[in-house]
Chain A
Amino acid sequence: MFVINCPFCGERDQSEFSSGGEAHIIRPKQPTELSDDQWAEYLFMRKNIKGVQFERWNHAHGCRKWFNMIRDTSNDKIHAIYKMGEKPPIV
Chain B
Amino acid sequence: MSKELRVNSKYIDQTTRIPFKFNGKTFYGFKGDTLASALLSNNVHLVGRSFKYHRPRGIMTCGSEEPNAIVQVSNDPSLTEPNVRATEIELYEGLEANSQNCWPSVNFDIGGINNFLSPFLPAGFYYKTFMWPASFWEKYEFFIRHSAGLGKAPTKPDPDIYDHQYAHCDVLVIGGGISGVIAAKLSAEKKLDTILLDDKKDLGGVSIYNNDDNFKINDQNVSKWLSNEIENLKKYPNLSIKTRTSLAAFHGYNYLLAKENLTDHLNVNDRKDKIRQRLWKIRAKKVVIATGAIERPLIFNNNDRPGILLSSSIKKYIDYYGVKCGTKISIFTSNDSAYETVLSLYKNGVKVNSIIDIRDKSESLIVKKVQDIGIKIYWKHTVVNTKGYKRINSIELMKLNEKGTGVIGDKINESCDCLGISGGWTPMVHLFTQSGGKLEFNRIDNMFIPNENKSSSEQISVGSCNGDLELDDIIKKTNLKTKEFLDINTSIFDSLKIQSSKEKNKKNIWLLPSDKPLGKTKPFLDFQNDSTAKDVKLALREGFKSIEHVKRYTTTGMGTDQGKLSNMHALGIIADTTGTNMGELGTTTFRPPFTPLTFGAIVGRNVGQFFDHTRYSAMHNWHETNGAKFENVGQWKRPWYYPKNKESMHEAVQRESKAARDSAGILDASTLGKIDIQGTDASEFLNRVYTNAWSKLQIGKCRYGLMLNEDGMVYDDGVTTRLGENHYIMTTTTGGAANVLNKLEDYLQTEWPELDVYLTTVTDHFSTISICGPNSKKIVNKMIPDLDLSDQNFPHMSFKNSSINGVRCRVMRISFTGEHSYEINIQSNYAKNVWEMSMEAGKEYNITPYGTETMHLLRAEKGFIITGQDTDGTLTPVDLQMDWIVSKKKYDFIGKRSLYRSDTIREDRKQLVGLITDDPNEVLEEGSQIVEDLNKKPIEMLGHVTSSYFSPNLNKSIALAVVVSGKNLKGKKLFVPMENKNINVTITDTVFYDKENKRLNA
Identify the A interface with B (CB < 8 A).
1-3, 20, 26-28, 30-32, 34, 36, 39-40, 43, 56, 58, 60, 64-66, 75-76, 84-85
Are A43 and B898 within 8 A (Cβ)? yes
Question: Are A43 and B891 closer than 8 Å at their CB atoms?
Answer: no
Residue contact B710 to A66, C-beta cutoff 8 Å = no
**Chain A nearest CB, measured from B169 CB (Å):** 15
A residues near B253, Cβ cutoff 8 Å: 1-3, 76
Chain B min CB distance to A83 (Å): 10
Are B255 and A1 in touch, CB under 8 angstroms?
yes
B745: interface (CB < 8 Å):
yes
Task: Tell me which of B196-204, B260-268, B625-633, B749-757 binds A.
Answer: B749-757
Chain B nearest CB from A10 CB (Å) reads 14
Question: Are B746 and A66 interface neighbours, CB within 8 A?
Answer: yes
- Contact yes or no, B746 A20, CB < 8 A: yes
Residue pairs across A and B with Cβ atoms less than 8 A apart, 28 shown, are A1-B251, A1-B253, A1-B255, A2-B252, A2-B255, A3-B283, A20-B746, A30-B892, A31-B892, A31-B896, A31-B897, A32-B896, A32-B897, A36-B902, A39-B897, A39-B898, A39-B901, A40-B901, A43-B898, A58-B742, A58-B746, A66-B746, A66-B749, A75-B436, A76-B252, A76-B253, A84-B749, A84-B750
Please tell me if the beta carbons of A27 and B902 are within 8 angstroms of each other in the complex.
no
Chain B: interface residue count, which band? 20 to 34
Asked if B711 lies at the interface with its beta carbon under 8 angstroms from chain A, I say yes
Bound CA span A85–B751, Å: 9
Decide if B252 touches A56 in the complex (CB within 8 Å): no
Q: How far is the CB of A77 from chain B (nearest CB, A)?
A: 8
Q: Is there contact, CB below 8 Å, between B252 and A1?
A: yes
What are the 3 A-B residue pairs with the smallest beta carbon separation, nearest first? A31-B897, A2-B253, A66-B749
CA distance A2 to B901 in the complex (A): 40
Q: How far is the CA of A34 from the CA of B901 in the complex (A)?
A: 10
Report the separation of the CA atoms of residues A43 and B896 in the bound assembly, to the nearest whole angstrom. Answer: 12
Contact of B901 among A36, A64, A76 (CB under 8 A): A36
Q: Would A32 and B251 be within 8 Å (CB), given that A43-B710, A66-B750 are in contact?
A: no
Residue of A nearest to B903 (CB): A36
B interface with A by C-beta (< 8 Å) = 251-253, 255, 283, 436, 710-711, 742, 745-746, 749-751, 753, 891-892, 896-898, 901-902
What's the Cα separation between A45 and B585 when bound, in Å? 36
Residues of chain A lying within 8 A (CB to CB) of residue B436: 75-76
B753 and A85 within 8 A (CB): yes
User: Which partner residue on chain B sits nearest A76 by CB separation?
Assistant: B252
Could you tell me if A34 and B897 are in contact, using CB atoms closer than 8 angstroms? Answer: yes
Known: A28-B897, A60-B742, A84-B753. 16 other contacts (CB 8 A): A1-B251, A2-B255, A3-B283, A27-B710, A32-B891, A32-B892, A32-B896, A34-B897, A36-B901, A39-B897, A43-B711, A65-B749, A76-B252, A76-B436, A84-B749, A84-B750
CB neighbours of B742 from chain A (8 A):
58, 60
Q: B745 touching A64 by the CB < 8 A rule?
A: yes
Output the least CB separation between B755 and chain A (Å): 13
Closest to B748 in A: A66
B892 A56 Cβ-Cβ under 8 A: no
Could you tell me the distance in whole angstroms from the C-beta of B250 to the nearest C-beta in chain A? 12
* Shortest CB distance B562–A (Å): 23
Q: Shortest beta-carbon distance, B898 to chain A, in Å?
A: 7
Enumerate chain B residues within 8 angstroms of A31, measured Cβ to Cβ. 892, 896-897
Of all chain A residues, the one with the shortest Cβ separation from B901 is A36
A75: which B residues are within 8 A, CB to CB? 252, 436
Report A-chain residues with C-beta under 8 Å of the C-beta of B896. Answer: 31-32
Residues of A within 8 A of B711 (CB): 43
CA distance A44 to B253 in the complex (A): 32
Cβ contacts under 8 Å, A39 to chain B: 897-898, 901
Q: Which residues of B contact A20 (CB under 8 A)?
A: 746
Q: How far is the CB of A15 from chain B (nearest CB, A)?
A: 10
Smallest CB separation, B32 vs chain A (Å): 38
Q: Is the CB of A56 within 8 A of B902?
A: no
Q: How many Å from the CB of A87 to the closest CB on chain B?
A: 14
> Which residue on chain B has the smallest CB distance to residue A78?
B253
CB distance from B906 to the nearest CB of A (A): 13
**Chain B residues whose C-beta falls within 8 Å of the C-beta of A65 in the assembled complex:** 749
CB distance from A50 to the nearest CB of B (A): 14
Q: Name the CB-closest residue of B to A1.
A: B255
Taking CB atoms, residues of chain A closer than 8 Å to B891 are: 32
**Complex Cα gap A65–B251 (Å):** 26
- Chain B hits for A1, CB < 8 A: 251-253, 255
Say how far B690's CB is from chain A's closest CB, in angstroms.
Answer: 16
Q: How far is the CA of A56 from the CA of B750 in the complex (A)?
A: 9
Question: Within 8 Å CB of A2, what residues of B?
Answer: 252-253, 255
**How distant is the Cα of A4 from the Cα of B892 in the complex, in angstroms?**
36
Q: Which residue of A lies closest to B897 (CB)?
A: A31
- In the complex, A70→B21 CA distance in Å? 59
Chain B residues with CB below 8 A from A27, complex form: 710, 751
A40 to B711, CA, bound (A): 9
Chain B residues near A85 (CB-CB < 8 A): 753
Using CB atoms, name the residue of chain A closest to B896: A31
A28→B897 CA distance, assembly (Å): 10
CA distance A20 to B749 in the complex (A): 13
Bound: A2/B435 CA distance, A: 12
Q: How far is the CB of B750 from chain A (nearest CB, A)?
A: 5
Closest-by-CB residue of A relative to B281 is A1
Cα distance A26–B902 when bound, in Å? Answer: 23
Quote the shortest CB–CB distance from A26 to chain B (angstroms): 8
Across the interface, which residues of A come within 8 angstroms of B283, CB to CB? Answer: 3
- Complex CA–CA separation, A84 to B255 (angstroms): 28
A27–B253 CA distance with the chains assembled, in angstroms: 34
Smallest Cβ-Cβ distance to B710: which chain A residue:
A43
A40 vs B710: C-alpha distance when bound (angstroms): 11
Tell me the complex Cα distance, A26–B255, Å.
35
Nearest CB on A from B676, distance (A): 15
B902 contacts across to A, CB distance below 8 A? 36
Looking at B252, B253, B750, the one whose CB has the most chain A CB atoms below 10 A away is B750
* Distance from A7 Cβ to chain B, minimum over Cβ atoms (Å): 12
How far in angstroms is the closest Cβ of chain A from B947?
30
Task: Tell me the complex Cα distance, A34–B711, Å.
Answer: 14
Which B residue's beta carbon lies closest to that of A2? B253
The residues of A that contact B255 with a CB separation of less than 8 Å are 1-2
Report how far A30 CA is from B891 CA in the complex, Å.
8
Q: Which residues of the partner chain A approach B251 to less than 8 Å between Cβ atoms?
A: 1
Q: How far is the CA of A85 from the CA of B745 in the complex (A)?
A: 15
Q: Which residue of A lies closest to B257 (CB)?
A: A1
Q: How far is the CB of B168 from chain A (nearest CB, A)?
A: 11
Closest to B904 in A: A36
| Most chain B CB inside 10 Å of its own CB: which residue of A34, A60, A64 | A64
C-alpha gap A60/B751 in the complex (Å): 18
Q: How far is the CA of A45 from the CA of B711 in the complex (A)?
A: 13
Q: Which residues of B contact A30 (CB under 8 A)?
A: 892
* A35 nearest CB across to chain B (Å): 10
Please name all residues of chain B whose beta carbon is closer than 8 Å to the beta carbon of A40 when the two chains form the complex: 901
Report the bound CA distance from A8 to B846 in whole Å: 55
Q: Which of B710, B711, B749 has the most CB of A within 10 A?
A: B749
Smallest beta-carbon distance A67→chain B, Å: 9
Q: Which A residue's beta carbon lies closest to that of B283?
A: A3
Complex interface: chain B residues within 8 A of A64 (CB): 745
Alpha-carbon distance A38/B253, docked complex (angstroms): 40
A60–B746 Cα gap in the complex (Å)? 11
B362 to chain A, nearest CB (A): 43
Give Cα distance in the complex from A52 to B897, angstroms.
32
CA distance A20 to B747 in the complex (A): 12
- Cα of A56 to Cα of B745 in the assembled complex, Å: 14
What residues of A have a CB within 8 angstroms of the CB of B753 in the complex?
84-85
Complex-state Cα separation, A36 to B906, whole angstroms:
14
Rounded to whole angstroms, the CA-CA distance of A63 and B352 in the bound complex is 70
User: What separation, in Å, do the CA atoms of A32 and B897 have in the docked complex?
Assistant: 6
Within the assembled complex, what's the spacing in Å between the Cα atoms of A65 and B902?
Answer: 36
For B711, B751, B896, B897, the residue with the greatest tally of chain A CB atoms inside 10 Å of its CB is: B897
Docked Cα-Cα span, A30 to B896, in Å, equals 11
Q: How far is the CA of A2 from the CA of B749 in the complex (A)?
A: 24
Minimal beta-carbon separation of A79 from chain B (angstroms):
14
